[in-house]
Structures are given as structure tokens and as C-alpha cells.
Structure 1
Amino acid sequence: MRRPLAARALATGAAAALAAVIGVQAAALPAQAATGSANGFASQNGGTTGGAGGQTVRATTGTAIHQALCSRASAATPIVIEVSGTIDHGNTAKVSGDSCSTAAGVVELKEISNVTIVGVGSGAVFDQVGIHLRDAQNVIIQNVTVRNVKKSGSPTSNGGDAIGMESGVSNVWVDHVTLEASGGESEGYDGLFDMKAGTRYVTLSYSILRNSGRGGLVGSSDSDLANGPVTYHHNLFQNLDSRAPLLRGATAHVYNNHYLGIKESGINVRAGGRAKVDNNYFEDSKDVLGTFYTDLPGYWQVSGNVFDGVTWSAAGEDTRPAGPNPTSTTTVSIPYGYTLDGASCVPALVRATAGANTGNRVSDGSCSPQTPTPTAGPTASPTPGPTVGPTASPTPSPAPTSSPTGQNLSIGAGADGSGKGGGTSYGNAIDGSTSTWWQPSGSTGRISVKWESATTVGRVVVREASGSAGAIGSWRVVNNDTGAVLATGTGAGTIRFAATSLRKLNFEILGSSGTPRVAELETYAG
């Protein structure tokens, strides 16, 4: 259905009148410091405060941003960097120092913590210069525009990502930013907002992602599963081909966003990922939710969304759209408080608030507000991944010292996975021999056992190969049929959970030390 005429009229009204009608709370203009406080998953794991309490400095070049980082007493000394003007390749040079690790042609936030970068004055534009976070914690980026960052052609920056995060990044709040490109991969562009290699506790709020082939991903491959959780709220995803976002094995809370002109796919949940999708407005778009381009399914919980002019593909082996009548396939617990605006208000509300240079305006929650009760959740660092499953997470017992009783249901079954290291195969994990093994292509990955018909499993035994004992770190066991998490824990051994009828069981390694090698993934009825 099309949205009501009144809502369309609001979307074209003056900003002041719009604010009064739909409930927008404005910050003072011009913004001279970061405003508001981190919400969503960035508020968890100790919270995200950026450089609060530290020195405030001004920067009008990329070199000056690097100099501010390098001039701190340590890499963890809090700092607020107020940016104005245009940051480009010509004014972004490498700066050296004990408290920084920078590079030319990219704003490098590497091996640092407690930093805020905020646009002030008439605005801050990062023109063809990306912002790169690597091994960075407690970072706020607010009120800036990043545009036309390329991975090929000239000039290149940040692998083509407008904002890219990787390798041990945690607690990042990106708010009121505009991220845009001028085409897709063939024109030299990559993602606008990418997270990979252990990026956790991130919120993207009141921002615009537009005019790109790729919006953003969480997880660079189907073996990069230790990312998230992530919150996306009150954002505009406009004129994108796909990845809005692409979730591989990650948990995301996606609410009160406006999707407009998505050409191929929107929220693409894969490889056991889960998305809680609440009160979004999907307009004039295709395949806005589902699992696409893979046979590794993801799962979603939906409520309160509006689908306005959305078309859906037919289901196939590698195409599993949630529509045309989306229903929930899992449940996702949210550990923080939040207020939902009514979906019908979202286009006008996002138009008035999202992006850089909008005065950091936010919703005041008066637009058909709905206030969910936060579900029980962790207050400290949890194991990466969704918070669904049994009421109490089973604790794996120590590794078995003798063969368990009962029939090993893995013998004679099939196997697949997310990838395999050189010289190994999936079948090595179910062949009954501990002298052969499967190992992932990296430090994380998935190995699965599958049956032709429903099989009841209540116990899994994970045996590591000789010489690799102790390499397996955090893991989860997932019912691939429904996406339910059956157990979580660390280390190899015996894993017990409520007996479950399923056709495919996933053992997902989320963290490891060294190279994890699974000699046998045994399954038993109980």
C-alpha cells in the first residue's frame, strides 16, 4: 500500500513545521560538540563515550586530525576533534607518534581509543577520503559527510569504504552522518558502512546511506562470524543496489529506518544471522528482507513495518525472500531500552532528522510512540551472536574421556560448512576417525551435519585433532532449520541441550587461538 497523502505532504513541508507535527527534538545549531549519548548496542559493553572529558581541538585538514591523535599523551587519552571544511587527499598526510598509527590518504583511527570526531561550523566533508577504524575502541563519529571513496581508479582510500571497521573494533557510535557514492563496484566504489574481523557493539543512527552499489556489511565472508551486535535506527537507505545491511552470522536491531529505491536486496540475513526488524518504512524497493545469494539461511523477527510498493522475487535455492507476507522466523532479545515511532511517520521523520548538517535533530518519541519492555540481556561482554535459544544456556561438560554411549548419528550423514583450510574436507569431521579433520579457512567458521529426514539430537561431542587441543574458543550450536541457538560455550567436549528434531545442525566457531581443527563432530539422540 502507498503511504497516506498526509504523510507525503509532511515529507515536503518546511523543516520547522515538520518538526512540530512529527515530534522532532533539535539540538542547538551550529553543533560545536558531539550531542546526545550513544544508544542501541553501542550503549552496551560498558557504553560508548568517545573523547568525553578530554581536550577539544579543531582540525580543518586530515593531517591536522592525525596530528591531534599523535599529540596525545597516550593512545587512550580522551580527545574531541572538531572538524570543519573539506578533508581530501591533498591535505591528509601521514603523521608519526607514540600514540597513533596513521597513513596518507585516509583518516586512520588505528590502535586508539576514546576519540570523538564531530563536524562543526558550516560542515565537514571527507571528499574521496575514507575513515578507517582498526583495533579501535570507544569512538564517536558525528555530523560529517563522507563521499565518493574509491577502491579502484584514482584516488583510492580505505579499500573503497566510506567508514570501514575491522580487527578488534568495539563500541562505536556513528550518528548524523551522510555516506554517499556515485555508483557501484564497476565505478570503483565499495561499501558505505562495513564491519568485519571482530567488530562489535556498534550503532548507526540518524544517518543517510545513498547512491551506492553497496550499503554495508557485517562480516566479510561466511566464515567471518564474530561480528555484532549492531543497531540501525532512523536512517535513510536510498538508491542502493544491496547490503542494507548484509548480515553474516551477526545480530542486528533494525528499526524506524526508511528504505527507498533499493534495487536488488535490502536486509540480507545470512549464515545464521538474525535481525529484529521493527517499524521500518520500505518504499518502492525490491526484496527488502530475506536471505539472498547463498544457501546459508538467516532469520528475522518482524513487527510494525510498512511495505509500500515493494516487489518480491520467487523463492529459490539461493533466494529466500521474507515476503510477500513477511512473518517472523525467530526471536531476538534486545537488552537496552528504546522507543519506536510509528512506521507511517518514518519517511517524514527521517527526512527531518537524518544526515549531516541537520542540527543533530532526533525524534522526541511522540509520533505514535511504542515503548517495548527491554528483554533480559547481558550487561557485560557476551559471546558474539544472537541472544535466543533455551532459557538457560547449557554449559558444556569437560571433554569426554571415553566413548559416549548410543549411536553416533553423524556417521552416514552429510556435512558442509563455511569454508575449509587447505587439505581438509567437511567429511573428515564425520568419518569416525580422529586422524583426519576439518579446519576453517580462518580462525572462525562453521561445520554442519545434515540428514535427509528429521533427526532428533540432544548431545554433540566435539573432538579436536591431535596437536590442536585448546584451539577452539567460543562457539554456538544452531538448529539450521529454524535458526534457534541450542547451546553456547567455549572449548571442545560434550555439549548437551534439549532434544531437538532437525535436519541440519551447525557448529559455529566464533573465536579461537591458533588454528582450530575438528577431528569429529559427533551427534547423539541424548
Structure 2
Amino acid sequence: MRRPVARRLQATLATAAVGAAICVALPTSQASAAPGSASGYATQNGGTTGGAGGQTVRATTGTAIHTALCTRASSSTPITIEVQGTINHGNTSKVSGNSCNTADGVIELKQISNVTIIGVGSGAVFDQLGIHIRDSSNIIIRNVTVRNVKKSGSPTSNGGDAIGMESTVRNVWVDHVTLEASGGESEGYDGLFDLKDNVQYVTLSYSVLRNSGRGGLVGSSESDRSNGFITYHHNLYENIDSRTPLLRGGIAHMYNNSYVNLYESGINSRAGARAKVDNNHFRNSKDVLGTFYTSEAGYWQVSGNIFDNVTWSARSGDNNPAGPNPQSNTTVSIPYSYRLDGASCVPDIVRQTAGANKGLLESNGGCSPTNPTPGPTNPTPGPTNPTPGPTTPPPTNPGGTNLSLGAGADGSSKASGTSYGNVIDGNLSTVWSPSGSTGQISVKWGTATRIGSINIREAAGSAGTVRAWRVLNADNGAVLASGTSAGVITFPATSLKKVTFDITGANGTPRIAEFETYAG
């Protein structure tokens, strides 16, 4: 694959020098919480509040950031870390503690929750050093620049991703950040914003992604379809080869983004992904929407977009652009409220508001920038899991036809010797188990199906293993019900194409024999 970004930038951009003194995090006397609150899918699943309500500390080195995480009372104690100055390999070391799991050469947000990282003062730059979020929830990153992170050459960090999330991550809001590289894969860079291996409920807003071969992906391979419910709004993608983003499975909502100089492809919806693409502005670019480099189709719903000097290649083989006259081939229901700017003014409003050090300005929904409305001074952080519902399910089985028979099934992972299809075969002797103690199993139909109850039958000898769960409308990410023991679960009747049983806590490895679905 050609690398136009690399060629254009090689002669003009250089990586920044590293080196800064290491210091410790200093607690401030009072929290200086930034105004504004999460938007998009980050508002779902209990919401995203980061470190609100906790202590605020100041950090000028990566080691100080790790120290702040590691000296908390627990891995879920809320904290806001205000970052100023340049964070690099020379000042970022591993710190140990019971409330953290850090590493050298990368800002590691691993197995933690309820954290905000925000740039303050003259700015915060993560130079050649990426931010890695893994097995974590309720994280906010705002007003920082991450640049020139490499996966090959020297130095390397975070697999070459500026911001990367993987392995069961929930509720992350990334806002007013600048993510940039100085070339493509051949120069050692990878994605600017990558999500993989079960990452859900994420919003990227008012940010700049530029000068890279790869903007970002959702799903690391065609089989990694456990990710989804991602919102991208009021972002600038500029001077990028492809992946703005690449979607594999799941649902994404792109609105009011400005795309300029996309050289090979743009929004690449693949492997069953569904993208809602509203009021975006595409300019001086090629193949900005479609399914590319695979025969496994993705889908899109389009409205209000402007295509200015966009060229479209011919459809052939695994190259299936949506243009030259993009039409919707799916519908996507969005569970949160949002305001659309007209696509004609998107380039201007994004130029004024997107990126670090822009004063956290937002659009007022009328194509004008405005200061965000401050949120609560001390909001209560949202729980990692929704509040459990009744612990005792109804004692009788639902009546009517089990709609799972003849349907399809998939999930987030499966243990050896088990299968997703085992939960819809009507046979209590066959089971599905996740690869660990938590995971998701879904039943799906080709057309919208109305259901109002499900029956989760644990295998013989495994009753009581499931200790916490949610039922999700997989079409839009809405939580239909939550609780603490399997069995019959009822909720307001809903028409959907896919329903998910999300096991968030268990006493051992769950063994699910049947996932029955009923209309009432």
C-alpha cells in the first residue's frame, strides 16, 4: 500500500527531542474541575464522570502520573490528574502499588477506574509516548497532545498507537485532544486512536487527528467484533491515508466531523459494522465511506453530509465504496440526545473548537463556538456496573414461543469446547462459556423482533455462578435490565435485531446452556 502521508511529511516533520525532569504529583488545595460533561455513547451504561468528586493532583512527568495512580486508596478511588509540560520516555517510569499496574515507557491506565487526565496551564504534550487503557472503566482524557508514537524504530511505545484501548474497557471520554504522527507504517507509526478486544461506550469529541497513515480502528481483526457503541463528533481528520475509522462489527455514530485530505479511504465499515454518518464534511479526499479491503460487508446510514471534491473508485472485488452517491443500507437507532450543526459550517466550527489548547470550546448547535456549560461541582462517579436489579427472578418460565430457536448467536469470547450456537439449540446438555469469568453472549435475528423477556438457563451444576449481569439492546447499546442472578428476566417489550446478555460478575466460569427469548 502506498504511503502518501509519509512522503509528504518526511521532509518537513521531525520528532521532538525528549528529556524533562521527573517530579512528583503535588496535591492541589481544591479541585479545579474543567467545565463540560461527556457526550455520545460515553453517557450510556451508567455514564462517564472520570475522577469527579475525588482529589486533584498536579503532574509534570509520566512518573508523577503513575505515582498519583499508585498512591490512591484503591484502584477505583476517584482522582483528577492535571498534567503540564512534556511527558516522555525519560521521565516515565514504572511505579508499583496496590491501586495501579503501570509500566515504563507508556502511560498505563490498567485495571483501574474513575480517573481524569487533563492538560492545564501552558499545555500537556505526550511526546513519543502513548496512553494505554486496558481492563479499565470510567476514564476521561482531555486537553492533551500525543505525538509521534512509534511501534518500530526508537523509541517505541504503546504498539505505535497514540491512544489505545483494549481488553474489556468501558466508558471512556476523550475530548479536545490532538493526536498526530509524522508519517505512516513504513516510518514506524500505527494508529492514532485504536480500540480492540471488547471496548464499548466510548466518545471521541472535539479532537484533531492528523499526519498519519492510520486514523484508528475498532476491532483488531474480522473476528474481533466485541467492540462498539462509539461516538465521533466535531473532530478533524486531516492528511491521513485511511481508517477514519476502520470499523469491524458494532455500532458507531459519526456526526459533524471534518475530513480533509484522506488519501486512500475514510470511514471503512466492515464485518457487519453499522455506522450512522450525519452532517459531516468531506473535502479533497478519496473513497471516504464504504467497505474496503475485505469481502465482509459493513453498513451505513447517511444524512446531511457534504462531499466536496471527493473522488470515488470503481467497485470491484473487495473494494466497495459507498459513492459517488452514497445511500443508506441500514438504520441505526441512537439512544442519546445530540445537536447537529449544518454540514456547511462544520469545517469552520471544527477549526475553532477541535484540539488541545482551544479552551475546551464547543459548538452551541448553531455553528458558533461557546464555552461548555460546567457540570456538577462534585458529581458522584458512575458505578463500573449498573445497580443490580432484583436478586430473585420470577419463579415461572415465560409462556409462548422461544424466539431463539432458529435465530443466530455470537459473543465476545468462547472457552475451548463451547460454542455460541449451543445457547440457541434447545439442548440443555450443550453450553457456552466465556474465556474468563465475564463475557457477552447474544441472540440475533435478520429483522427486528419484539421481545419482553429472556430466560438464561445455567448448565446443570453451575446454578448461581452468574453473580452480576446486564441485558443490552445491541442495536443501540441501551441497558434493558440488570441484576445479580440468572433465570427469567423481564423488561419493557422492545423491537430489536440483537439482544445481549452481558455477564459482568461471576463466581467462577459461567456455563450457559440456553439463552431463550420471548415476546412477553
Q: 1:273 to 1:101 in 2, by over 3 A?
A: same
Q: Which residue of 2 aligns with 1:351?
A: 351
Displacement of 1:39 after TM fit? Answer: 3.2
Q: Which residue of 2 aligns with 1:38?
A: 37
Query: Counterparts of 1:300-319 in structure 2 under 5 Å?
Result: 300-319=300-319
Name the SS of the counterpart of 2:105 in structure 1: coil
The answer to whether the 8 Å contact 1:330/1:484 transfers is no
The answer to whether the 8 Å contact 1:223/1:446 transfers is no
Distance (whole Å) between structure 1 residues aligned to residue 316 and residue 442 of structure 2: 23
Q: Which residue of 2 aligns with 1:246?
A: 246
Unaligned runs of at least 5 residues, structure 1: 1-31, 370-379, 384-397, 452-457, 494-504, 522-526
Name the SS of the counterpart of 2:344 in structure 1: helix
Name the SS of the counterpart of 1:261 in structure 2: strand
Q: 1:47 to 1:421 in 2, by over 3 A?
A: closer
Displacement of 1:332 after TM fit? Answer: 2.5
- Does 1:129 find its partner at 2:129? yes
Displacement of 1:189 after TM fit? Answer: 1.5
Distance (whole Å) between structure 2 residues aligned to residue 418 and residue 136 of structure 1: 17
Distance (whole Å) between structure 1 residues aligned to residue 299 and residue 464 of structure 2: 31
Q: 1:445 to 1:317 in 2, by over 3 A?
A: farther
Q: 1:492 to 1:181 in 2, by over 3 A?
A: farther
Displacement of 1:520 after TM fit? Answer: 12
Task: Output one character per residue of 1:354-393: Cα deviation in whole Å (capped at 9) or x when no partner.
Answer: 1111121111222299xxxxxxxxxx99x9xxxxxxxxxx
TM-score (norm 1): 0.69
Counterpart residue identity of residue 183, structure 1:
G
Q: Report the more deviating stretch, 427-436 or 324-333.
A: 427-436
Q: Which residue of 2 aligns with 1:325?
A: 326
Q: 1:450 to 1:173 in 2, by over 3 A?
A: closer
Q: Which residue of 2 aligns with 1:219?
A: 219
The answer to whether the 8 Å contact 2:172/2:202 transfers is yes
Query: Counterparts of 1:457-476 in structure 2 under 5 Å?
Result: none
Distance (whole Å) between structure 2 residues aligned to residue 136 and residue 422 of structure 1: 26
Counterpart residue identity of residue 39, structure 1:
A
- Does 1:294 find its partner at 2:323? no
The answer to whether the 8 Å contact 1:33/1:118 transfers is no
Displacement of 1:177 after TM fit? Answer: 0.4
Counterpart residue identity of residue 334, structure 1:
P
Task: Output one character per residue of 1:280-321: Cα deviation in whole Å (capped at 9) or x when no partner.
Answer: 001111111122222222221111100111122222342332
Name the SS of the counterpart of 2:262 in structure 1: coil
Displacement of 1:418 after TM fit? Answer: 11
Distance (whole Å) between structure 1 residues aligned to residue 211 and residue 236 of structure 2: 11
Counterpart residue identity of residue 115, structure 1:
V
Counterpart residue identity of residue 122, structure 1:
S
Name the SS of the counterpart of 2:311 in structure 1: coil
Q: 1:517 to 1:308 in 2, by over 3 A?
A: farther
Displacement of 1:266 after TM fit? Answer: 1.3
Displacement of 1:463 after TM fit? Answer: 12
Q: Which residue of 2 aligns with 1:90?
A: 90
Q: Which residue of 2 aligns with 1:154?
A: 154
Task: Output one character per residue of 1:461-495: Cα deviation in whole Å (capped at 9) or x when no partner.
Answer: x99999999999999999xxxx999xx999999xx
Q: 1:278 to 1:98 in 2, by over 3 A?
A: same
Name the SS of the counterpart of 2:310 in structure 1: coil
Counterpart residue identity of residue 233, structure 2:
H
Distance (whole Å) between structure 2 residues aligned to residue 315 and residue 216 of structure 1: 24
Distance (whole Å) between structure 1 residues aligned to residue 457 and residue 55 of structure 2: 52
Displacement of 1:271 after TM fit? Answer: 2.1
Distance (whole Å) between structure 2 residues aligned to residue 332 and residue 62 of structure 1: 40
Q: Which residue of 2 aligns with 1:104?
A: 104
Task: Output one character per residue of 1:199-248: Cα deviation in whole Å (capped at 9) or x when no partner.
Answer: 22111111001111211112222332222211111000111122111222
Distance (whole Å) between structure 1 residues aligned to residue 500 and residue 96 of structure 2: 40
Query: Counterparts of 1:476-515 in structure 2 under 5 Å?
Result: none
Displacement of 1:432 after TM fit? Answer: 13
Counterpart residue identity of residue 348, structure 2:
A
The answer to whether the 8 Å contact 2:51/2:115 transfers is yes
Q: 1:54 to 1:425 in 2, by over 3 A?
A: closer
Query: Counterparts of 1:5-154 in structure 2 under 5 Å?
Result: 33-41=32-40, 42-154=42-154
The answer to whether the 8 Å contact 2:240/2:261 transfers is yes
Q: 1:192 to 1:468 in 2, by over 3 A?
A: farther
Q: Report the more deviating stretch, 507-516 or 136-145.
A: 507-516
Query: Counterparts of 1:328-407 in structure 2 under 5 Å?
Result: 328-336=329-337, 338-367=338-367
Distance (whole Å) between structure 2 residues aligned to residue 484 and residue 117 of structure 1: 28
Q: Which residue of 2 aligns with 1:206?
A: 206
Displacement of 1:60 after TM fit? Answer: 0.8
Aligned-residue RMSD, C-alpha: 4.8
Q: Which residue of 2 aligns with 1:27?
A: none
Distance (whole Å) between structure 1 residues aligned to residue 514 and residue 137 of structure 2: 37
The answer to whether the 8 Å contact 2:301/2:327 transfers is no
Q: Which residue of 2 aligns with 1:373?
A: none
Displacement of 1:446 after TM fit? Answer: 10
Q: 1:509 to 1:114 in 2, by over 3 A?
A: closer
Q: 1:517 to 1:345 in 2, by over 3 A?
A: same
Count residues in correspondence: 461
Query: Counterparts of 1:430-469 in structure 2 under 5 Å?
Result: none
Task: Output one character per residue of 1:437-458: Cα deviation in whole Å (capped at 9) or x when no partner.
Answer: 999999989999999xxxxxx9
Counterpart residue identity of residue 357, structure 2:
N
Q: 1:160 to 1:431 in 2, by over 3 A?
A: same
Identity %: 66
Counterpart residue identity of residue 81, structure 1:
I
Counterpart residue identity of residue 327, structure 1:
S
Q: Which runs of 4+ in 1 moved over 6 A?
A: 415-451, 462-478, 488-493, 505-521
Name the SS of the counterpart of 1:209 in structure 2: strand
Query: Counterparts of 1:258-277 in structure 2 under 5 Å?
Result: 258-277=258-277
The answer to whether the 8 Å contact 2:420/2:441 transfers is no
Distance (whole Å) between structure 2 residues aligned to residue 438 and residue 308 of structure 1: 49
Q: Which residue of 2 aligns with 1:10?
A: none
The answer to whether the 8 Å contact 1:108/1:133 transfers is yes
The answer to whether the 8 Å contact 2:84/2:123 transfers is yes
The answer to whether the 8 Å contact 1:241/1:263 transfers is yes
The answer to whether the 8 Å contact 2:412/2:439 transfers is no
Counterpart residue identity of residue 333, structure 1:
I
Unaligned runs of at least 5 residues, structure 2: 1-30, 370-381, 386-394, 489-496, 516-520
Q: 1:334 to 1:322 in 2, by over 3 A?
A: farther
Counterpart residue identity of residue 35, structure 1:
A
